C-alpha cells in the first residue's frame, strides 16, 4: 500500500510538479522530439530544401559500412572500458578493504580522477602516451615497439580505452568498497573456519554477495562508455586515425556539427536514445527484482 | 575426540590489554561454559581458540598438537556465531555442506551427513530455503547443523542463543545440551546468561576483565565462589555483600554498625579488625534475628517473596523469603551462618575456614 497525500485542490499537485516538468520539457523532450522529427527529414547540401523521407535515414545508416564499423568499435570500446574499469576498481577495493586503516587517504587519492575534467585528463594521458613526449610512449619506442597512437588505429583505441576506464575507476571503487564493507565480517570468518582459502572465499562468498553492486556498476559503466566518453575521445584522438576511435556518440556529433548532415545525425541520436532506454529498462527491471542472492 | 589446552594466552588490541594470560584445560567431550559481563573478553578468547585472532603470547593445543600458528581452516573446529553468519546467497543445504565441499568429501557422503543433521535438527523440509526465508530459531539450527556436519574436533559457540526469545532459548538450550552429549564433541560455549551457564556447562569459566576468576563445576561455583566478583555474578537475585571486621581469634565477624556473627565452619586467619566482606545469598536469611531491616520494596512472586530493604547502617540488602512475611513493617532478620561466605575485604578473595589447630600457634606467636 502506498501512502496517499490528499490535496484539497485538484490543481496544486500539478502546480508543484510544473517547474520540474518544465525543465525536463525544455531540456529533454523538446530537443529529443526535434531529433526524432529531423531523423525523418533530409536537407539538401545547402540547407535550403527539406523533404520528408520517412525511415530512409535509418535504412541508409544501417547500410553504411562505416556506421556498422562504428557500432563494432563502440562495442569493443565499451566492453574493454567496462571490463578494465570494473576489474581494476574491484582489485583496489579488495586491497583497501583489507587495510581499512589507511583507506581514507587511499580513498581520497582514488577519487581525484573522477573530479578531473575530461580535457585535463586527456592532457595527462597525452603526457603518458605521446610517442615523443609521453613517458610510456617514449619508453615503448625506446624498446623497439613502434608506438604512435596518432597513426596506428589499434593503439589509438587502446589509448582511449585506458583513458576512459581510468576516469571511471574511482566511481566503481567507491561502490565496490561500500559493497565489500557491507558484507558481515562474521560470514567471512565462518567461511575461513569452514576451510575456505582466501581466493576461494572471494569467489564463493564475497563475489556472489557483491553481485547487486556489480550489476549496478555494469549498467552504469556501459552507459558511461557509450555516452559519456565523448570528451576523452575528442581531446585524445578526435575519432581518428581513419575513424578507428569513432564511437557512435562521436560520429553522431561529427555528422551533425561538422558535416551538418542533420538527418543522419538525428537518426544516429535516436538510435543512441533507444540504447539508453534499453539499458535503463534492463537496470530498472533487475533492480526491481533485486539481483540479490 | 579431542582435548583443548590454553596455555597463558594474553591478548592486547594495540595498547589495550583485553586478556591477561588465560589458562584452561578442557577434557575430551567436556562442555565448558565461559561466562562473564559484557566486554570481559569472552569472544576474544573464543576467537583466539578458533584462530580468528592471534594471541599476543602463549599456546593453544588441540589434542596434543600445537595449533597456535595455524590458520582457522587447519584447526578442524566449527563455530556457531552470535549472529549465525549464514551465507545469505546459499540455500540451507549449501550452507551446511560448504565446509564439506571445500574439503572434497564425496557427494553421497555429503548428502548423507547433511540429511542426518537436518533430521536431527528438524530442518528436513527447509533444505532448499535461503537464510532470509527462515525464522531466527531456524537460522540458529542451520548454524548448528553447519557445525555438526563437519564432525570437528571442537565446537565453539559464541552466545548462539542470545537472539532468541525466552521460550525458544530454553528449548534450544536443552537441545544443544542433548546434542553435545550425544555427539560427545569437546565444546566451548560463551554466554553472559548465568542460567545458561549453570545448566549447560560441565564446568564454568567465570571471566572478569580478561582474567579467569574461577574455573569449576557450576555447583562448586555456586557453593564456594572464589571471589566477590564470581559470588555476585552467579545467583539471582545477586548475593548481598556486607562490610565487616574479623573478631578476636578469627572466630566471627562484626558487621559494620551491627552485631557479631560467629562463623559456623571455623575461624579465619588474620588479626582482629581485619577488613572482611561477608557474602550472604538472599535465600540464606532467616526471620527472627539481630538485624533490623526496613523494607522499601516488596516483590511477591507467589511461592516466595523478594524483599529489598536497608539496614540501620544504610546498607542495602535483598532477601528471599518463603511465603509472605506476616508484617510489612521493620523485619528482624538473621543470617544462617552455615551459608555465610567470607571474603577478604581488600582483595575480595574467598577466605576459607582453617583447621583450628593450624591457627593456634600463629595466634600465640602474634
Ligand atoms: N578488534 C578489536 N580492537 C580493539 N578492541 C577490541 C577488539 N575486539 C574486542 N575489543 C575489546 O576487547 C574487549 C573484549 O571484547 P570481547 O568481544 O571479547 O567481549 P565479550 O566478553 O565477548 O563481550 P560481549 O558479552 O559483549 O560479547 C572489549 O573491551 C572490546 O572493546
Ligand atoms: Mg562477545
* DSSP notation for B283-320: GGEEEEEEEEEEEEEEEE-SSEEEEEEE-TTS-EEEEE
Over residues A97-114, the pLDDT tens digits come to 776 656 677 777 777 777
Contact B249, B364 (CB under 8 A): no
Measured between beta carbons, which residues in chain B are less than 8 angstroms from residue A186? 81-83, 85
What whole-number distance in Å separates Cα of residue B272 and Cα of residue B268? 10
Q: How far is the CA of B36 from the centre of ligand 2 (A)?
A: 10
pLDDT at B168: 80
What does the pLDDT average to over A52-78? 82
Strand order of the sheet with strand B65-66?
B16-26, B4-13, B59-62, B65-66
- pLDDT digits (tens), chain B, 366 positions: 688 888 888 888 888 888 898 889 999 999 999 999 888 999 999 999 999 988 888 889 998 888 888 888 888 999 999 888 999 999 999 999 999 999 989 999 999 999 988 988 888 888 999 999 898 888 988 998 999 898 899 999 999 888 888 888 888 888 888 888 888 899 999 998 888 999 999 999 999 988 999 999 999 999 999 999 999 999 888 999 999 999 988 889 999 888 899 998 889 988 888 999 999 999 999 888 888 899 989 888 888 899 999 988 889 999 998 888 777 788 888 899 899 999 999 999 999 987 755 555 444 433
pLDDT at B26: 92
Give me the residue label for grid cell 564433541. Answer: B185
Give me the residue label for grid cell 585506458. Answer: A162
Residue A87 Cα, gap to closest chain B Cα (Å): 22
- Domains of chain A: residue spans and CATH: 65-289 (1.10.3720.10)
Q: How far is the CA of A160 from the centre of ligand 2 (A)?
A: 52
Pocket of ligand 1 (CB under 6 A): B 13, 16, 18, 36, 38-44, 192
Chain A residue with CA closest to B51: the answer is A193
Q: Is A194 on the interface with B (CB under 8 A)?
A: yes
- pLDDT band, very low/low/confident/very high, at A5 (cuts 50, 70, 90): low
pLDDT at B364: 43
- Domains of chain B: residue spans and CATH: 4-226 (3.40.50.300), 237-356 (no CATH)
Q: What is the pTM of this model?
A: 0.77
Give me the residue label for grid cell 531466527. Answer: B136
Length of chain B: 366
Q: Is B73 on the interface with A (CB under 8 A)?
A: yes
Nearest-ligand number for the alpha carbon of B36: 1
Q: A-contacting residues of B 137-176, CB under 8 Å?
A: 146, 150
Name, in order, each residue with C-beta under 8 angstroms of B162's C-beta and a sequence gap of 6 or more: B82, B191, B192, B193
Give the closest residue to B310 by CA, choosing from B259, B252, B240: B240
- Cβ atoms within 10 Å of A89's Cβ, excluding its own: 24
pLDDT at B317: 93
Among protein residues, the one whose CA lies closest to atom 30 of ligand 1: B39
Is beta strand B203-208 parallel, antiparallel or unpaired with respect to B31-36? Answer: parallel
Instruction: Say what angle helices B92-102 and B107-121 make with each other, to 10 degrees.
Output: 140
Q: How far is the CA of A176 from the centre of ligand 2 (A)?
A: 29
pLDDT at B156: 93
pLDDT at A45: 64
Out of B9, B10, B12, B13, mutate this one to test ligand 1's pocket (max ligand atoms within 8 Å of CB): namely: B13
pLDDT at A103: 63
Listed in sequence order, the DSSP H helices in B124-251 are 136-149, 166-183, 194-200, 218-223, 228-233
Mutate to test the interface with B, among A186, A194, A204 (most CBs of B within 10 A): A194
Among protein residues, the one whose CA lies closest to atom 16 of ligand 1: B41
Mutate to test the interface with A, among B43, B47, B73, B86 (most CBs of A within 10 A): B73
Q: Which residues pair with B195 in a beta bridge?
A: none
Q: CB burial class (10 A; 0-12, 13-18, 19+) of residue B327?
A: exposed
Contact A138, A131 (CB under 8 A): yes
Here the cell at position B89 is 546467497
Over residues A249-283, the pLDDT tens digits come to 888 888 777 776 777 788 888 888 888 888 888 87
Residue A272 Cα, gap to closest chain B Cα (Å): 36
Q: CB burial class (10 A; 0-12, 13-18, 19+) of residue A71?
A: middle
What whole-number distance in Å separates Cα of residue B332 and Cα of residue B295? 11
Report ipTM (2 d.p.): 0.80
Which of B78, B85, B102 is facing A189, going by the closest CB pair? B85
Q: How far is the CA of B19 from the centre of ligand 1 (A)?
A: 10
State how far Cα B79 lies from the chain centre.
Answer: 19
Contact A199, A94 (CB under 8 A): no
- pLDDT band, very low/low/confident/very high, at A87 (cuts 50, 70, 90): very high
Task: Please give the backbone phi and psi of residue B205, each rounded to the nearest 5 degrees, phi first.
Answer: -115, 115
Over residues A156-185, the pLDDT tens digits come to 888 889 888 888 888 898 899 889 888 888
Measured between beta carbons, which residues in chain A are less than 8 angstroms from residue B81? 186, 189-190
Tally of CA atoms within 13 A in the half-sphere of B322 that contains its CB:
2
pLDDT at B318: 94
Q: Is B130 on the interface with A (CB under 8 A)?
A: yes
Q: Sign of dihedral through CA atoms B269, B271, B277, B283?
A: positive
Cβ distance A193 to B83 less than 8 Å, yes or no, reads no
- Helices vs strands, H then E, count in chain A: 15, 2
Mutate to test the interface with A, among B82, B89, B95, B129 (most CBs of A within 10 A): B89
- pLDDT band, very low/low/confident/very high, at A47 (cuts 50, 70, 90): low
What whole-number distance in Å separates Cα of residue A272 and Cα of residue A31? 14
What are the b/e assignments for B149-177, b being 16+ CB within 10 Å? bbebbbbbbbbbbeebeeebbeebbebbb
Here the cell at position A252 is 553522431
Q: Is A22 on the interface with B (CB under 8 A)?
A: no
Amino acid at each position: 500500500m502506498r501512502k496517499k497525500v490528499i490535496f484539497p485542490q485538484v490543481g496544486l499537485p500539478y502546480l508543484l510538479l510544473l517547474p520540474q516538468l518544465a525543465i525536463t520539457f525544455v531540456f529533454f523532450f523538446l530537443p529529443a522530439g526535434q531529433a526524432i522529427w529531423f531523423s525523418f527529414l533530409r536537407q539538401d547540401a545547402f540547407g535550403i530544401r527539406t523533404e520528408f523521407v520517412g525511415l530512409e535515414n535509418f535504412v541508409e545508416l544501417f547500410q553504411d559500412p562505416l556506421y556498422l564499423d562504428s557500432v563494432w568499435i563502440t562495442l569493443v570500446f565499451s566492453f574493454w572500458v567496462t571490463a578494465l574499469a570494473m576489474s581494476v576498481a574491484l582489485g583496489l577495493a579488495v586491497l583497501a578493504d583489507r587495510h581499512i586503516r589507511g583507506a581514507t587517504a587511499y580513498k581520497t587519492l582514488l577519487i581525484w580522477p573522477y573530479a578531473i575534467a575530461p580535457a585535463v585528463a586527456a592532457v595527462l594521458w597525452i603526457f603518458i602516451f605521446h610517442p615523443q613526449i609521453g613517458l610510456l610512449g617514449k619508453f615503448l619506442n625506446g624498446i623497439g615497439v613502434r608506438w604512435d597512437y596518432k597513426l596506428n588505429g589499434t593503439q589509438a583505441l587502446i589509448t582511449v580505452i585506458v583513458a576512459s576506464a581510468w576516469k571511471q575507476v574511482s566511481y566503481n571503487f567507491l561502490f565496490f568498497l561500500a559493497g565489500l564493507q557491507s558484507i558481515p565480517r562474521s560470514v567471512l570468518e565462518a567461511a575461513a573456519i569452514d576451510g575456505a582459502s582466501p581466493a576461494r572465499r572471494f569467489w564463493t562468498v564475497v563475489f556472489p554477495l557483491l553481485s547487486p553492486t556489480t550489476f549496478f556498476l555494469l549498467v552504469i559503466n556501459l552507459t558511461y562508455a557509450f555516452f559519456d566518453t565523448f570528451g576523452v575521445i575528442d581531446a585524445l584522438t578526435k575519432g581518428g586515425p581513419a575513424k578507428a576511435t569513432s564511437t557512435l556518440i562521436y560520429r553522431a556529433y561529427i555528422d551533425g556539427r561538422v558535416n551538418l548532415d542533420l538527418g543522419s545525425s538525428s537518426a544516429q541520436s535516436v538510435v543512441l536514445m533507444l540504447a539508453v532506454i534499453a539499458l535503463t529498462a534492463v537496470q530498472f527491471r533487475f533492480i526491481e527484482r533485486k539481483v540479490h542472492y | 575426540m579431542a582435548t583443548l589446552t590454553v596455555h597463558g594466552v594474553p591478548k592486547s588490541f594495540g595498547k589495550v590489554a583485553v586478556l591477561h594470560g588465560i589458562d584452561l584445560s578442557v577434557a575430551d567431550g567436556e562442555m565448558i561454559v565461559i561466562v562473564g559481563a559484557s566486554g570481559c573478553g569472552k569472544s576474544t578468547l573464543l576467537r583466539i581458540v578458533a584462530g580468528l585472532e592471534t594471541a599476543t603470547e602463549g599456546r593453544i593445543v588441540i589434542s596434543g598438537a600445537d595449533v597456535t600458528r595455524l590458520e582457522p581452516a587447519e584447526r578442524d573446529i566449527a563455530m556457531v556465531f552470535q549472529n549465525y553468519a549464514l551465507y545469505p546467497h546459499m540455500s540451507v543445504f549449501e550452507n551446511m555442506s560448504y565446509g564439506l565441499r571445500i574439503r572434497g568429501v564425496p557427494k553421497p557422503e555429503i548428502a548423507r551427513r547433511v540429511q542426518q543433521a537436518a533430521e536431527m535438527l528438524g530442518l528436513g523440509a527447509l533444505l532448499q530455503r535461503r537464510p532470509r526465508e527462515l525464522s531466527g530459531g531456524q537460522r540458529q539450527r542451520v548454524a548448528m547443523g553447519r557445525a555438526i556436519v563437519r564432525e570437528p574436533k571442537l565446537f565453539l559457540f559464541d552466545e548462539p542463543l542470545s537472539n532468541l526469545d525466552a521460550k525458544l532459548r530454553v528449548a534450544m538450550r536443552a537441545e544443544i545440551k542433548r546434542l553435545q552429549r550425544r555427539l560427545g564433541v569437546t565444546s566451548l560455549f560463551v554466554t553472559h546468561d548465568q542460567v545458561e551457564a549453570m545448566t549447560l556447562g560441565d564446568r564454568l569459566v567465570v571471566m572478569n576483565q580478561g582474567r579467569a576468576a574461577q574455573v569449576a563445576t557450576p555447583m562448586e561455583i555456586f557453593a564456594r565462589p572464589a571471589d566477590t566478583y564470581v559470588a555476585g555474578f552467579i545467583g539471582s537475585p545477586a548475593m548481598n555483600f556486607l562490610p565487616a571486621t574479623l573478631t578476636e581469634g578469627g572466630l566471627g565477624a562484626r558487621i559494620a554498625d551491627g552485631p557479631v556473627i560467629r562463623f559456623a565452619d571455623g575461624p579465619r586467619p588474620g588479626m582482629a579488625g581485619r577488613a572482611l566482606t561477608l557474602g550472604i545469598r538472599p535465600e540464606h536469611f532467616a526471620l527472627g534475628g539481630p538485624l533490623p531491616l526496613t523494607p522499601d520494596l516488596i516483590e511477591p512472586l507467589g511461592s516466595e517473596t523478594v524483599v529489598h530493604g536497608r539496614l540501620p547502617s544504610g546498607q542495602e540488602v535483598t532477601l528471599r523469603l518463603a511465603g509472605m512475611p506476616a508484617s510489612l513493617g521493620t523485619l528482624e532478620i538473621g543470617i544462617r551462618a552455615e551459608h555465610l561466605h567470607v571474603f577478604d575485604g581488600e582483595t575480595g578473595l574467598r577466605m576459607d575456614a582453617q583447621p583450628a589447630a593450624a591457627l593456634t600457634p600463629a595466634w600465640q606467636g602474634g
